[in-house]
Amino acid sequence: MPPSVMFETRGTIAYVTLNRPERRNGLTPEMLREVYETLLRADDDKNLSVLVVQGAGQDFCVGADLNNMTARLAAGKAGQPDVLWFNVSLLLHQMRPVTIAAINGGCAGAGLGWALACDLRIASTTSRFNSAFLDAGAPGDMAAIWFAGRLLGGAAARALFFNPEKFDAETALRTGLVQSVYSLEDFTPELDALVQRLANRPAAVLAAMKANFLDAERLPLKDYIVVETDRHLALMRARASGPTVQTPVDHASTGSVK
């Protein structure tokens, strides 16, 4: 059987592909573990500057595979996922590379949480979104509510989760859930162009900018300005010294999920 999660690197770019297209990339416990472990490896690779999460076939990810879960329960083989595996969203949000969710087709439940956790989200016109948790009798996971509240605002996030219903890519664009929407024909070329534009930027600058965003979420302004200025001046000094100088980004302030 083909792997349910595929990982590929092309220079400084990594691609994580959810690969159960026959089940609309619905998640199993094994798949959840594989994504978590794959992202841990990617975060350890200091050569990477951009990471794309995408789905094989015609969907991004429709959340947990409830049929798989039901079959496991009936067979007495359900088991409990390791709580660490639910840190996929935390990794996508905090890891060094800029993360991009390439959303095509269905994006719901845990898949929506993962998309919201990424730094950038682009969608095709075939994309369909749904929080879906309440319909499945679940309160939510993968920090979907945490991200939705910050991206959309509290009222819009509550409407999205307390009144689960499908909405299209144009609605997602209008509400700010995604940054761009492309036709199915243009989706892959536009994704490639975005990824390449980012990959052509200095990796240290991308990492420092992402660290700034993470610190901005947790620090008061007077403290944030200190760490932002330190990073800025360090990189400007490195730039003045020549292209061979490498300036590491201090990730201690952003925390760790390892």
Query: In Å, how far from its chain's centre is CA 207?
Result: 16
pTM value is 0.91
Q: Give the start-end residues of each E strand in the chain.
A: 5-10, 13-18, 50-55, 98-103, 106-108, 120-124, 128-130, 167-168, 180-182
Is pLDDT above 70 for 173? Answer: yes
Tens of pLDDT along 213-231? 999 999 999 999 999 999 9
Q: What is the pLDDT of residue 83?
A: 87
- The answer to whether 99 touches 46, Cβ cutoff 8 Å, is no
Cα distances (angstroms) measured from residue 22 to each of 25, 26, 52, 72: 7, 9, 21, 18
Domains, the chain? 5-199 (3.90.226.10), 203-254 (no CATH)
Tens of pLDDT along 125-163? 999 999 999 999 999 999 999 999 999 999 999 999 999
Q: Using DSSP bridges, classify how beta strands 167-168 and 128-130 pair: parallel, antiparallel or unpaired.
A: antiparallel
Which helix H or strand E contains 133, and what residues bound it?
A: none
